[in-house]
Structure 1
Amino acid sequence: MTLKDGIEREINRIISILIRDQTKDGSWDYTFETGIATDAYMIILLRTFEINDEMLIQALVQRIAGNQEDNGSWKLFHDADEGDSSSTIQAYYALLYSGYVSKQEPRMRAAKKFILENGGIERAETFTKTLLAMTGQYTWKSLLPLPIEIILFPLSSPLNFYDFSVFGRANIAPLLILSHFKYKKTTSRTPDLSDLFARGTNTEFEHRNEDWRNLLTSMKDQLKQMTDKPADLKRKAVRAAEQYMLKRIEPDGTLLSYFSSTFLMIFALNALGYTLKNPMMVKAINGLRNMAVQIGDDLHIQYTTANVWNTALISHVLQDAGVPWSHNVIQRANHYLLSRQHTQFGDWVLRNANTMPGGWGFSTINTINPDVDDATASLRSICELTEVQPNYQQAWTRGIKWILSMQNDDGGWPAFERGVDKKWLSLAPIQGAEYLLLDPSTADLTGRTLEFFGNYSSMNKEHPAIRKGVKWLKNNQRKDGSWYGRWGICYIYGTWAALTGMAAFGKSTIDPSIKKAADWLRSIQNPDGGWGESCKSDIERTYVPLRDSTLTHTAWAVDAFIAVSDKSTPEIEKGIAYLIDQGEKEDWTNNYPKGQGMAGGFYIHYHSYRYIWPLLAMSNYRRKFLGQ
């Protein structure tokens, strides 16, 4: 079979799968899978509030137990050198609290041994310790001393609540309430985890914690000077934190559609006196329940849904592969996307006051938290319809204006908000502070935005926004030629986004930056023709090979080469051959995370990616080099 025949066969196979999997509302609801943390937290939530949903609890126990390693730990990804301490604590706690697993079972003794050998509860990350404090297993005084008054700090203050990213704020607002009240809720079934303390210390953390405490104390003192009634100030701050949450609840009851923020909000509302009979509490808990999805024989609680993201990408790549915009599957998908364009103002307007809403969010029920990547993906999908249907033209115009307005002053694009990049906040004594608290310009967002403008709009390379964006990419290229991608794994992803973005404005391998990046990609191609990158790259902040190829990483690398090459090359053809030959393979590489939320703590397996990116790469190859 020739390469051309193989491409045709594989493109048609993937198209048929995607058409089959479209849901009734026109979207694709492929799973957004994130390990066992959400499953563990859900068990603990249900048991803490004595909601005895035994079928759900038993199903989650099965999934958690089934992911345990031989040494008793739980890992974040396949090739991690050893288990993850925080994940193991979460799993151990949830299994015990479920009531279906005993401490005396060999697997639990092995888990306990692993936890203690790795520093005990003391070495857990901040949010695991917070979970433990909320449920009576840890002391609040040992956690980050963030005063609730911070929510009242003026925007002119060296540090204020809105210096944190919108994702950070969604989680910090309920944390402020819980910490203020030193909230603790136990039941007669609460396990005793006191035997998981190793009595160790973390000197570096304590030192940073002390510096952070001194800064916040000085700012807190400034606020006290503004009033002679500190108690009134605290009450005002509590009210402000409560209102921040309540004003950002999505139609399904979740806080900005995130599991973690909703989980914390439920406990925070309880601390404020809300009972389980309150409709808001009921709706929030049910919102988390509705995140449940079946994966094979297991049930998983998703961190969020990814329907808008999946649908925008799939509708676009189907059209790229030759499915006409008039086809029913595209019409339904784009109708769904049109209904999901935002009309409400979100927090993004605080630093972007002169722009109307026009973006798209990530999940199916997101209405006030749009992001640049979903916006450009949705506009790619509806592009063809703007010429024939006025309502799509209006959506297009609003979307373009919103995306342009989101460009940072440094020339790059962030995910959610402009100007949220006080780099010193990354020194906060919170694991993943850089990811939780900041929303800087990134190579992946900047590259993909440039690719959209170059290939789908009339904007030319002399437009100030484009010149600034390309300049940002060139200034942020690493010495080895790669770029770091914030929301994917990791350097292959970032390099693909940067190369396709610059190629959309005429850059080719003649350009030194492009050539350097292409040389780097070429140097890391595997003998089988594919590419693969480890999640360790994200932790070590340098490229770490996976040693095995994945469909997604291969598709990104091949698509990058296609974008910057005038003719097909051996590395392109070897990569395409890999995508054809391995398209139907079923092994651990298909489930390996290709996205990340926080280095060392939160990785994402997109079930849609094995179809989306190979289809895009093969379609682009066929059009550019086969003339089809």
Structure 2
Amino acid sequence: MKEVPGIVFDGGQASYNLQALAPFVQAAVRNTSVHEARETAARAATTLQAQQNPEGYWVGDLTADTTLLSDYILLQMWLYPPAANGSWDPPTMPKIRKAAKSLLETQRPDGGWNIYEPGPSEINATVRAYTMLKMTGLSPEDPRMQKARTLILKMGGIQACNSYTRINYSFFDLFPKKYCPTIPPEIMIIPGSVLYEMSSWTRTIIVPLSIVQALGGTRPTPGGLRIEELFHPNKRIALHRKDRIANLFIRADKLFKRWERQSVKKIRDRAIREAEHWMLDRLHYSEGLGAIYPSIMYSIMAMDVLGYERDHPDLMEAIGHFDGLMLESEEGMVFQPAKSPVWDTAIGAFALGEAGQGNPEQMTAAADWLLSKEIRRRGDWATKRPNLTPSGWVFEFANEFYPDIDDTAMVLLTLLHAKASDPERQKRAERRAVDWLLGMQSSDGGWAAFDVDNNWQILNKVPFADHNAMLDPTCPDITGRVIESLCKRGFDCTHPAIIRGVHYLLSHQEENGSWYGRWGVNYIYGTFLALRGLVASGAPGAVEAIARGAHWLREIQNPDGGWGESCLGYDTERFERAVSTPSQTAWALLGLMAAGGVRSNSVQDGVRWLCENQRPDGTWDETITTGTGFPGVFYISYHLYRNYFPLLALGVYGKRSKS
């Protein structure tokens, strides 16, 4: 065993000497009852255990904003065009009416719709909701529509909408096509790997979308309805211009449009065939293309314009996966952007294990189910890592071309607690997954979500990059989780991958001591995972960074003892305080406890907040959005976050208090 100031290494693991770190992370003690915390954790565990599927997995609802409802109605307009006389009576009309009802019920007092709770009204969500309500028969003179229209014009009119709203509306001649970015299918036959320099989710969106743009033409609207009233009379219609480089891409877009009209048929046909084959390859081994809402929707539209009959197995399967994202009740409807069983199972089982609440049979069932989901197919990631043995886990039930690094790291953490019925099979899978994680480290030392070195910044200048997710760059939250996962399997700060990962985290710490969170809201999420990774590494040079991160968490604690952060921070690029939430309170506690502050006032107050705010059924309420899809554009509410993260935090608190 060797020692450096503030850190103890033991058997490849690292812990921080509380006495040495006391000036940084300790404060006077308030005694929150450990017994009370354990009782709270036990109630949470009982509820979570009852939610496990008989097959061994957990899956919570995953909800987002109303654009998914609006786009559902748009897809029905595409699949079931109105009759020649303008009447529209698709077979899905009962669901369309329910979607419209849900849209109306979520309208904000100012007339708009937002993209996160409790955020302000947002132009794209509001335009889409207004349009689809009009298409389903709500009069523009209805007071609710008048209020929405007034707000839309105040926000700049439909001209202020992003590329994907514009493109979708161009398919119905609701927005001029010449002012929409062109995505030529010829991108499939350009020499090199330009397609794979884009993020995985962008790939799965633009490939089918390029087919639709090339072949789709326009479809009629019910009754020939228009939305001219949404165009601001004093705003020019144009492709969005950001800067000089963006303008170069806009000029290139004009060339693409000319090519659209004059393209050599043989080249265009080959490009469309390549796009179709690429799309179908990924459809056959997933819950729809990319297993995410927009990609599945565009794949359905692409197969339709390619001439697939409605009873074609591939089209029927895609529609089935799309409809499977629907959460319907008598009261209304919401759509999930994806399903999250691997993610929820990994975190849920890990929380139970850390809390000492893991029922052996249930944990074995979880481990067996997770092992059955290991990816053994070469996906898009292999373009840059052709010699890496396939492994890893996806987020969803099935999405074999897209295992992700975050899920893989989380599953490896879970398998430390959850033991499968076949130990040898588990060992082999774990070895493969560790090797895959090591192989997926980017050149800057960090880890991204799906790819390696996905960082061509120039791609952020293309006209259709305004969904703010053109790339999949490395990020502190995933990097911290990967380091923790590897170090809990015997790696330490002498391993080259850990050295580079730690350096990445240290170089990406904000001036105030926090870390940015790409996949959870926001700086609280990034900071908790960075701290856990740095502490697990035992890196001597990380002591000051850990202390600064812990200090920042204490500084932004709410007066009620909890923590809360708004999605607004992605727009302002700083921490934006919000009401305390169970998930973010748990994240902050996990970060502080990793840094050694188990008995600090901050931890005691945070634990007390969790205990006092638990519901009698062992769950917590969470009213604000804490998950991130595309920063500034799309956010997610993970309905199990509010339950298993507090369980994890309370479990760690109970264990650390005992020691």
Taking structure 1 as the reference length, the TM-score comes to: 0.92
Question: Which residue in the other structure is 1:366 paired with?
Answer: 399
SS at match of 1:260: helix
CA RMSD of the aligned region, Å? 2.7
In structure 2, relative to structure 1, the CA distance for the partners of 1:621 and 1:253 (3 Å cut) is closer
How far is the alpha carbon of 1:210 from its aligned partner? 3.2
User: Is residue 126 of structure 2 the alignment partner of residue 92 of structure 1?
Assistant: no
> Where in structure 2 are the equivalents of 1:87-486 lying within 5 Å?
87-99=125-137, 101-155=138-192, 160-181=194-215, 183-189=217-223, 191-199=225-233, 200-201=235-236, 205-206=240-241, 208=243, 210-214=247-251, 230-250=264-284, 254-294=288-328, 297-324=331-358, 327-384=360-417, 385=419, 389-430=423-464, 432-435=466-469, 437-455=470-488, 457-486=489-518
Contact in 1 for aligned 2:391/2:432 (Cα 8 Å):
yes
In structure 2, relative to structure 1, the CA distance for the partners of 1:41 and 1:567 (3 Å cut) is closer
Q: In structure 2, what residue type is equivalent to 1:110?
A: K
**Whole-Å separation in 1 of the counterparts to 2:121 and 2:646:** 31
User: Is residue 653 of structure 2 the alignment partner of residue 625 of structure 1?
Assistant: no
Deviates more, 1:46-55 or 1:501-510: 501-510
How far is the alpha carbon of 1:393 from its aligned partner? 1.1
In structure 2, relative to structure 1, the CA distance for the partners of 1:152 and 1:339 (3 Å cut) is same
Q: In structure 1, what residue type is equivalent to 2:587?
A: W
How far is the alpha carbon of 1:197 from its aligned partner? 1.2
Find 1:64's aligned residue among 103, 112, 120.
103
Q: Deviations over 1:509-560 (max 9, x none)?
A: 98121122122111111111111111001122211111x1111111111110
Contact in 2 for aligned 1:595/1:606 (Cα 8 Å):
yes
SS at match of 1:603: strand
**Whole-Å separation in 2 of the counterparts to 1:181 and 1:510:** 55
Q: In structure 1, what residue type is equivalent to 2:122?
A: D
Contact in 2 for aligned 1:77/1:535 (Cα 8 Å):
yes
**Whole-Å separation in 1 of the counterparts to 2:236 and 2:614:** 49
**Whole-Å separation in 2 of the counterparts to 1:217 and 1:419:** 30
User: Is residue 66 of structure 2 the alignment partner of residue 36 of structure 1?
Assistant: yes
Contact in 2 for aligned 1:31/1:608 (Cα 8 Å):
yes
How far is the alpha carbon of 1:191 from its aligned partner? 3.1
Deviates more, 1:285-294 or 1:614-623: 285-294
How far is the alpha carbon of 1:591 from its aligned partner? 3.1
Deviates more, 1:292-301 or 1:337-346: 292-301
Q: Deviations over 1:454-493 (max 9, x none)?
A: 22x0112100000000000001111111111111101110
Q: Deviations over 1:328-376 (max 9, x none)?
A: 2212222211111112111010011111211110111222211011111
Q: In structure 2, what residue type is equivalent to 1:497?
A: L
Q: Deviations over 1:51-95 (max 9, x none)?
A: 422332232222211110112101122332x31111011111222
SS at match of 1:596: strand
Q: Deviations over 1:127-167 (max 9, x none)?
A: 111111122211221111343322222227xxx22211111
How far is the alpha carbon of 1:239 from its aligned partner? 1.4
Q: In structure 2, what residue type is equivalent to 1:49?
A: L
How far is the alpha carbon of 1:290 from its aligned partner? 1.1
Q: In structure 2, what residue type is equivalent to 1:247?
A: D
**Whole-Å separation in 1 of the counterparts to 2:531 and 2:370:** 27
In structure 2, relative to structure 1, the CA distance for the partners of 1:593 and 1:566 (3 Å cut) is closer
Q: How many residue pairs get matched? A: 614
**Whole-Å separation in 2 of the counterparts to 1:461 and 1:614:** 29
**Whole-Å separation in 2 of the counterparts to 1:357 and 1:54:** 44
Deviates more, 1:569-578 or 1:194-203: 194-203
Question: Which residue in the other structure is 2:585 paired with?
Answer: 554
User: Is residue 52 of structure 2 the alignment partner of residue 15 of structure 1?
Assistant: no
In structure 2, relative to structure 1, the CA distance for the partners of 1:16 and 1:297 (3 Å cut) is farther
Structure 2: gaps (5+ residues): 1-30, 81-89
**Whole-Å separation in 1 of the counterparts to 2:371 and 2:594:** 29
**Whole-Å separation in 1 of the counterparts to 2:424 and 2:533:** 28
SS at match of 1:395: helix
In structure 2, relative to structure 1, the CA distance for the partners of 1:117 and 1:230 (3 Å cut) is same
**Whole-Å separation in 2 of the counterparts to 1:136 and 1:510:** 57
User: Is residue 645 of structure 2 the alignment partner of residue 613 of structure 1?
Assistant: yes
Deviates more, 1:347-356 or 1:173-182: 173-182
How far is the alpha carbon of 1:110 from its aligned partner? 1.3
User: Is residue 606 of structure 2 the alignment partner of residue 571 of structure 1?
Assistant: no
SS at match of 1:619: helix
Q: In structure 2, what residue type is equivalent to 1:596?
A: T
Q: In structure 2, what residue type is equivalent to 1:260?
A: P
Q: In structure 2, what residue type is equivalent to 1:109?
A: Q
How far is the alpha carbon of 1:379 from its aligned partner? 1.6
User: Is residue 62 of structure 2 the alignment partner of residue 24 of structure 1?
Assistant: no
Q: Deviations over 1:299-336 (max 9, x none)?
A: 21211111111011101111111134x62221222221
How far is the alpha carbon of 1:252 from its aligned partner? 6.3
In structure 2, relative to structure 1, the CA distance for the partners of 1:382 and 1:253 (3 Å cut) is closer
How far is the alpha carbon of 1:409 from its aligned partner? 0.9
In structure 2, relative to structure 1, the CA distance for the partners of 1:400 and 1:7 (3 Å cut) is same
In structure 2, relative to structure 1, the CA distance for the partners of 1:217 and 1:233 (3 Å cut) is farther
Q: In structure 2, what residue type is equivalent to 1:56?
A: K
Question: Which residue in the other structure is 2:16 paired with?
Answer: none
Deviates more, 1:142-151 or 1:298-307: 142-151
In structure 2, relative to structure 1, the CA distance for the partners of 1:188 and 1:559 (3 Å cut) is closer
**Whole-Å separation in 1 of the counterparts to 2:597 and 2:242:** 55
Question: Which residue in the other structure is 1:595 paired with?
Answer: 627
Contact in 2 for aligned 1:30/1:307 (Cα 8 Å):
yes
**Whole-Å separation in 2 of the counterparts to 1:41 and 1:31:** 19
Deviates more, 1:128-137 or 1:190-199: 190-199
Question: Which residue in the other structure is 2:614 paired with?
Answer: 583
User: Is residue 41 of structure 2 the alignment partner of residue 4 of structure 1?
Assistant: no
